[in-house]
């Protein structure tokens, strides 16, 4: 029997103390609510690389929208990891949280296009939160984290 815990990698952009961080922390609380058995590895996109990605069973991406795109930090993560992990992360379940000022769809489109190159599968529809996250938005981020964690633990994804 394999006693290795399932690992969920959370890769995030956005500035410290910002909206993406608040959503991320809510998602992390949701992941933690799934109980033991799942290891959460939460990394700033700029500090995350192929090693963490190869070790992960699922991925949660959190980014602000910048200029109709994902944050430069998340794009840099993809730029640095694509070839090193090519052919090794196909089928990984992933989910996406985007914090936006007024839109968010450009970031979603860009991320979806890139992760299709990795061969990842969406575990849930992307969560776009426009403006300051209110309680309902934070709850949605919490629930997304909890759903990902529970699904990974149950082997559903």
> Applying CB under 6 A, which residues contact ligand FMN?
14-15, 18-21, 64-68, 99-104
Alpha-carbon gap, residue 69 to 47, rounded angstroms:
20
Q: Which is nearer to ligand FMN, 79 or 103 (CB)?
A: 103
Question: CB of residue 77 vs ligand FMN: minimum separation in angstroms?
Answer: 16
Question: CB of residue 3 vs ligand FMN: minimum separation in angstroms?
Answer: 37
Q: Which is nearer to ligand FMN, 40 or 45 (CB)?
A: 45
Element containing residue 44 per DSSP (H, E): strand 38-44
Question: CB of residue 117 vs ligand FMN: minimum separation in angstroms?
Answer: 22
Shortest CA distance to 78 belongs to which of 94, 101, 99?
A: 94
24 within 8 A of 10, measured Cβ to Cβ: yes
Shortest CA distance to 53 belongs to which of 18, 20, 78, 72?
A: 78
Q: Which is nearer to ligand FMN, 96 or 153 (CB)?
A: 96
Q: Report the residue closest to ligand FMN, judged by CB.
A: 18
Question: CB of residue 106 vs ligand FMN: minimum separation in angstroms?
Answer: 6
Class of residue 76 by CB neighbours under 10 A (exposed 0-12, middle 13-18, buried 19+)? middle
Q: Which is nearer to ligand FMN, 10 or 100 (CB)?
A: 100
């Amino acid at each position: 029997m394999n006693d290795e815990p399932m690992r969920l990698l959370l890769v995030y952009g956005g500035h410290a103390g910002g909206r993406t961080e608040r959503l991320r922390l809510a998602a992390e609380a949701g992941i933690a609510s799934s109980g033991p058995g799942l290891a959460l590895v939460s990394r700033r996109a700029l500090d995350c690389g192929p090693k963490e990605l190869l070790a992960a069973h699922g991925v949660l991406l959190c980014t602000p929208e910048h200029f109709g795109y994902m944050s430069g930090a998340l794009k840099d993560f993809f730029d640095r990891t694509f070839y090193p992990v090519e052919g090794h992360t196909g089928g990984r379940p992933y989910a996406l949280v985007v914090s936006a000022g007024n839109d968010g769809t450009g970031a979603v489109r860009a991320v979806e296009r890139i992760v299709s190159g990795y061969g990842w599968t969406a575990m849930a529809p992307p969560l776009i939160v426009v403006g300051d996250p209110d309680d309902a938005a934070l709850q949605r981020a919490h629930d997304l984290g909890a759903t990902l964690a529970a699904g990974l633990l149950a082997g559903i994804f």
